Structure 1
Amino acid sequence: MTSPERGPRTVLPVPSPAGDRPAPATPAYRVPTVPQAAWSPAGCRRRTWVSRAILLSILLFQATLSLRLHNTAFQDEAVYLSSGHVQIHHLLYGTPVPTDYASYFSGSPLIYPVVAAVVDAKFGLAGARLLSLFFMLGANTALYAMTRRLFSERPALAASAVFAVIPSTVVLGHFATYDAAAVFLLALTAWIIVRTDRAPVASVLLAAPVAVLAVATKYAAGLYLPTLVALAALVSWPHRGRSSMVRAVLFVIGVAVPTLVGLQYSDVLDGVRATTTAREHGHDGMREIVWKTAEWGGLMFLTACGGAIAYARRGRMNESPSTAPLDVPGGIWRTLLGLLLCATALLAPAYQIHLATSVALSKHLGFGLLFAAPMAGVGLTRLVGAHFRFPQLACVLWVATLCVGVTKSTEWFASWPETSQLNKVLRSHITPGGGRYLAESPNTPVYYLRDITDQTRWSSLYHMGYKDAHGTVHHGKDGYRKALADGWFDLVVLDGVAVPELDPVITEAVRSSGRYRLLGAVPFSETGRFRIWVKR
C-alpha cells in the first residue's frame, strides 16, 4: 500500500550569524557636540592671549577717547602743577614755600604734585596729562584682572569695555589732577585683595600700603576704605570661612597704623578737614545732584544693578565652560557681593548731597563706578546670553554709554576759558618778579608765566583781606572795593566764569576808581571775553 502523494516542500531561510550582517552606511554628516560656552577651557593659552588682545584693544580705544580732548590748563591742574614746581625747588634749593598748600589741598602736596611737576618740567602739560592717562589705563587693567578673578574673562572684558567709555574715565584720563592716581591706587588695592583671597590671611597686608598711599594722594579715597575692608572679608569667605574676618581685621590694622602715624607727624589734617570732612556746604539742591549723577553714571549703574540681580538669582550662566556647579558660591554670598559693589557707586553722590554741592561730582563718580564695574560686566554678559545669543542688546547699551561718555567729556573740557591768547598779552604787561595782580582764576597765569611771576603776586576772587594805609583790614566785597580805589593792584583780569557773582562788583569798582584803563578784551569763546585793566 502506497502513501498518498504530497505537495512540494517549503524551505525556510536560516538566520545568518551576526558577523555576516552588512555594515550600515557611514553617515554623510554628524552633528558635533555643542560646548557649554564659546570659550576654550580655563587655563588654555589661546583663551588667555585672545582675552589679552581684546583688553589691549579696549585700552587703546580708551586712550583715543581721552587724547581727543584739548584745552589749556584748568585752574586745578594749574595750581597742582605750580605747587609741585615750588615743592621741588624747596626740596632741592631750599626756596621758601609761599603758602601752606597742605592746609587747603585735597591731597598731600608732596605726592602727586611733585611727581606730576617732574613730568611737566620735561614734557609740559601734555606730559602731565599723559601721566593721568597711564594711571587710568592701569586702573582699567587692574579692574579686568579683579573681575576675571571674581568671575571669568567674559565679564572682565565687558566690565573693562564699559568702564573705558564712561565720562569720568574719559575725563580723568586727560586731566592732570590727583584723581587719576587715586583711582589707580584704589583699583590696585582691590585687585590685591581679590587676588590673595585663597592665600594666607596675612597676605592681605600687601594691599594696606597701597590703600594708605591712595588716601594720602587724594583724601576722598578714604570714603572707599569700608568697601575694601568688606571686600577683604567677603572674597575669602567661600575659601576660609570665619577666618576671613581675621583677614579683614588685619587689613584695617595695616591701614590704620600708618595713617595715624602720618596724621600725627604731618600737617595735612587741616587739608583733610577743609576739603573733605569739614568742607563748607554749598547751595545745590538734591534734584540737581541726582540728575547730574544720572547723566554721568546712570547707565553704568543700572547695568551693574541688573548684573547684581541676575548674579544673585543664578550664579552661573555659561560664562566659563570649566566652572562646575559646586564651584559657584551660594545665593547669600552672591547677593552680598552685588550689594557691596553697587552700593559703593552711591557713596560719592550721597556725600555730595550731604554737602549740598555738585563741585567735583563728575570726577568723584569714577571712584565708585570703578567698584560697580565688575557687576556691570556681569550685566552685559547676561544680556548677551550663552553662545552670544543676544549680542545686539549689550551692543546697544554699550554704544549708548559711549555716546554719553563722548558728549559729557567734550562738554567738560569746553567748560573753562582757553587762555593761550591771554597768556601772551599778560606776558608783555607783567613786571618780572614784581607787581600785584587780581584775577578770577590766577592759578592759570601763575602756571604758564612761572618764569616771570609767582603765586605771592596774585590775588583771587575767593578771599580778600586788604589792609589800608591806616591799618584797617577790609574783607570781602569791601576789601576789593577799597583795594581798587587805592590802586593796590597793577593789573586786573576778569572773565565772568569762575566767580560770576563778584564780576559786576569788581567791574564797577575798577571803573569808579579812576585809577585803571581798559587794556582790551581777549575772546576765549563765541560770547566770552577776558577783560584786562592796567593801572594808569
Structure 2
Amino acid sequence: MTLAGAIATSMVPARHRSRAAQWLPYLPAAVVLAVQAVLTLRLDNIANVDEALYINAGHAYIAEWSGGPKAPDYGGFFSGFPLAYPVFGAVIDHFGGLEAARVASLLLTFVAVACCGSIAAWLAGPDRATVARPVAMAFAALAGPTLFVGNLATFDAPCAVAVIGSAALAMTRRSYATAVLAGVIAGAGAVVKYTGAPFILVTAGLALLCEPTVRRGIARALVVLTTAVASVLAVYLPNASWINGGIAFTTTNREAHNYRDLTFLLGEYLLGMGLLTALALAGLILLVRRTRTVRHALIGCAMIGAGLAVSVSQGRLHEYTSFNKHLIFTALFLAPLAAQAAVLPRVRLVRPAVIVLSLYLLTVGALYRSDFMYHEWPDFSPVVERIHQIDQPGIYMGIGGHAMAYYSKDYPEMEWVEPFTLYGSGPGQMREEVAEARYAGIVLTTGATGSDALDRNTALMLDLLGKSPDYELAGRWPKHRYDTNEFYLYMRRS
C-alpha cells in the first residue's frame, strides 16, 4: 500500500480498515465517474431532433408489432440499424421519459471511459498502471464530446462504447474467447451506427499488434475480423434492401449537408481536441522512448489514426453536421496515450504538474464546449406551446418536426412532417401545396443553415406564406440565446 493509501485507511475505524483497503484502489476511478456524471447532467435542453426521431421511430415499431399501423421506412435515412437503438431508446422512454434515455447514454459513456483506463494501464505497465488508469479516465471524461454524448439519447453512446470496448478487449486480453467477444462487440458497434464499421479493422489491427508473437497475433486478429463480419452480415443480409439507402445516404456516399471550409473545421477540432492531441503525441513519444520497440510505436500510431479517422473523413467532405459530436472517438482513442505523457516522465515532479495543469485546462475547455454543443439546436418549446393552445388538428410541417412530434404525443390529431420531401419536389409543388392550404401549421426559421438549397426553399416558403390569404402569422420567437434569428409560425385560417 502506498503512503497516501495508508493515510486514507487510517481515517477509517479499525474494524473497517481491511475492507477499506480493498476498495481504496477503485476510489480514483469512482471520483472520475462522479465528476463526469455531475458535469454531464448539468446540461439541459429540449429534445434534439435526432433524439426525438430515434425514440419516435422506436415507438412506431413497437406500435406496429402490437397490431398498430405500419411504421414509416426509417431504413432509408437512418445512420444505424433502425431496429437497434431506436427500440431500446423507446422502451426506456416509455418507462422513464427522455431523461431516463439520456441517463442510459451516460452509463454507457461510463463504460467507455473505464475502457480507456484499462488501455492506459496496459500501455503504462504494472509499475505505473495504478496512476495511468484514473488519469486516462479523467482525460476521456473531461472532453466536451464525451459530456455531450453522455446526455444525448442517440446512436452515439452505444456505438462509442462498442468501438472502444472491443479495442480494449483486443489490446488487454490474450485468449481467443476474448477475441471472439471483441469481434462481436465491434460488429454490434457497426450495426448500431454505421460509422462504427471501419473500427472493426482497428480492433483487428490492435489484436495483431498487441500480441507478443506474430503467429498468435494473426490468429487473434482473424478471429476478431471473422466474428465481427459475421455479426454484421447476420443483420445486414436479411435487411439489405431495407437499409442500403441509409448506409449510402449517411456513410458510404455521404455528401456535405452543412458545408464548412477546412479552416473552420480545423479550428473546431483544435478547440475541442487540441490539448488532448498534443498530450497524446507526447505520450506516444515517451512510450516509444521507454519501450524502444516498433510494436509500441505501431500501436500508438494505430490509436492516433483511429482517433483522427472520423474527423479526417468529415473534413474531406467539409461536413460540419455531427463533426463535434464525433470527436468522442478522438477523445476515447487519444486519452490512453495522453495519460502516458502524465505518468512516464522520469522527473517525478513533472508528473503531478502535467496531470494538474492538463486536468484544469481540459475541464475549462470541456465545460465551454459541451455547453455550446448542447445549446446549438434551437428551443422551439414556445412554438409547440402556442400550437397546443390553438389545438387545430391536421398536418404540421417544420424543420425539427420529429422533435416537435415528440412533444405532441398527447395531441394525436396532429401529424408532423419535415419539409425536405416537399422542398425536393421543387418550387411548383411548394406553391401548389400552399395554395391548397394543405398544412394546418408551418414552422420556419430565419438565418443561414449551411445549406444553400435549404435556405432558398425556406425563403420561398416564407414569401409564399406571407402572400397567401389562407395563412396568418401566429407568432415569432427567437431561436435560442446564441442566435438572433427567429421561429415563424404560420397557421391556416379557420
TM-score, length of structure 1 as denominator length: 0.82
Residue correspondence of structure 1 range 111-130 to structure 2 within 5 A? 111-130=84-103
Structure 2 counterpart of 1:420, one-letter code: S
Deviations 1:36-79 (A, max 9, x none): 99899xxx998873331000000000111111111101111111
Report the equivalent of 1:179. Answer: 156
Report the equivalent of 1:514. Answer: 469
User: 1:437–1:491: 8 Å Cα contact kept in structure 2?
Assistant: yes
Q: Which of 426, 436, 439 lines up with 1:476 in the alignment? A: 426
Q: Does 1:458 align with 2:434?
A: no
Report the equivalent of 2:439. Answer: 489
Separation of aligned partners in 2, 1:442 and 1:454: 15
SS in 2 for 1:66: helix
User: 2:342–2:351: 8 Å Cα contact kept in structure 1?
Assistant: no
CA separation of 1:531 and 1:388: change in aligned 2, threshold 3 A = same
Separation of aligned partners in 1, 2:353 and 2:43: 29
Separation of aligned partners in 2, 1:233 and 1:49: 34
Separation of aligned partners in 2, 1:372 and 1:390: 18
User: 1:130–1:173: 8 Å Cα contact kept in structure 2?
Assistant: yes
CA separation of 1:364 and 1:481: change in aligned 2, threshold 3 A = same
User: 2:188–2:231: 8 Å Cα contact kept in structure 1?
Assistant: no
Separation of aligned partners in 1, 2:277 and 2:50: 28
Q: Does 1:305 align with 2:281?
A: yes
Q: Does 1:332 align with 2:294?
A: yes
User: 2:189–2:196: 8 Å Cα contact kept in structure 1?
Assistant: yes
Report the equivalent of 1:429. Answer: 390
Separation of aligned partners in 1, 2:418 and 2:108: 31
Deviation at 1:388, TM superposition (A): 4.4
Deviations 1:129-157 (A, max 9, x none): 11111111111122222322332121221
Q: Which of 344, 347, 354 lines up with 1:393 in the alignment? A: 354
Report the equivalent of 2:321. Answer: 359
User: 2:402–2:417: 8 Å Cα contact kept in structure 1?
Assistant: no
Report the equivalent of 2:402. Answer: 443
Q: Does 1:531 align with 2:481?
A: no
Q: Does 1:249 align with 2:210?
A: no
Separation of aligned partners in 2, 1:45 and 1:308: 37
Separation of aligned partners in 1, 2:350 and 2:397: 63
Residue correspondence of structure 1 range 91-170 to structure 2 within 5 A? 91-97=65-71, 99-151=72-124, 152-170=129-147
Separation of aligned partners in 1, 2:413 and 2:225: 42
User: 1:104–1:271: 8 Å Cα contact kept in structure 2?
Assistant: yes
Deviation at 1:501, TM superposition (A): 4.4
Report the equivalent of 2:13. Answer: none
Report the equivalent of 1:324. Answer: none
Q: Which of 82, 87, 95 lines up with 2:56 in the alignment? A: 82
Structure 2 counterpart of 1:340, one-letter code: A
Report the equivalent of 2:376. Answer: 415
CA separation of 1:350 and 1:382: change in aligned 2, threshold 3 A = same
SS in 1 for 2:75: helix
SS in 2 for 1:531: strand
SS in 2 for 1:299: helix
Residue correspondence of structure 1 range 26-45 to structure 2 within 5 A? none
Deviation at 1:386, TM superposition (A): 5.1
Structure 1 counterpart of 2:298, one-letter code: L
Separation of aligned partners in 2, 1:295 and 1:348: 17
Deviation at 1:521, TM superposition (A): 2.0
Deviation at 1:108, TM superposition (A): 1.1
SS in 1 for 2:421: coil
Separation of aligned partners in 2, 1:477 and 1:135: 45
Separation of aligned partners in 2, 1:353 and 1:389: 36
Separation of aligned partners in 1, 2:37 and 2:350: 30
SS in 2 for 1:205: helix
Separation of aligned partners in 2, 1:391 and 1:269: 51
Q: Does 1:189 align with 2:148?
A: no
Separation of aligned partners in 2, 1:101 and 1:93: 19
Deviations 1:201-225 (A, max 9, x none): 3541121211111111111011212
> Which is greater in Rg?
1
SS in 2 for 1:119: helix
Structure 2 counterpart of 1:294, one-letter code: L
Deviations 1:198-250 (A, max 9, x none): x3x354112121111111111101121221111111111x2x34221111112
Separation of aligned partners in 1, 2:98 and 2:472: 33
User: 1:211–1:255: 8 Å Cα contact kept in structure 2?
Assistant: yes
Separation of aligned partners in 1, 2:310 and 2:31: 30
Unaligned runs of 5+ residues in structure 2 are 7-17
Separation of aligned partners in 1, 2:491 and 2:164: 49
CA separation of 1:217 and 1:131: change in aligned 2, threshold 3 A = same
Separation of aligned partners in 2, 1:393 and 1:263: 46
Unaligned runs of 5+ residues in structure 1 are 1-34, 316-329, 466-473
Q: Which of 182, 195, 198 lines up with 1:207 in the alignment? A: 182
How many residues are treated as equivalent by the alignment? 468
CA separation of 1:338 and 1:431: change in aligned 2, threshold 3 A = same
Report the equivalent of 1:318. Answer: none
Structure 2 counterpart of 1:227, one-letter code: V
Deviation at 1:454, TM superposition (A): 7.8
Report the equivalent of 2:14. Answer: none
Deviation at 1:503, TM superposition (A): 3.1
Deviation at 1:504, TM superposition (A): 2.3
Q: Which of 206, 209, 218 lines up with 2:193 in the alignment? A: 218
RMSD, matched Cα: 2.5
Separation of aligned partners in 2, 1:256 and 1:37: 49
User: 1:439–1:492: 8 Å Cα contact kept in structure 2?
Assistant: yes
Deviation at 1:196, TM superposition (A): 2.1
Identity %: 25
CA separation of 1:230 and 1:454: change in aligned 2, threshold 3 A = farther
Deviations 1:446-489 (A, max 9, x none): 1110232489x333232317xxxxxxxx8233332332133222
SS in 1 for 2:442: strand
User: 2:48–2:377: 8 Å Cα contact kept in structure 1?
Assistant: yes
The structure with more helix, counted as a fraction of residues = 2
Deviation at 1:287, TM superposition (A): 1.7
Separation of aligned partners in 1, 2:177 and 2:55: 38
Deviation at 1:507, TM superposition (A): 1.1
TM-score, length of structure 2 as denominator length: 0.88
Structure 1 counterpart of 2:226, one-letter code: I
Deviation at 1:95, TM superposition (A): 2.8
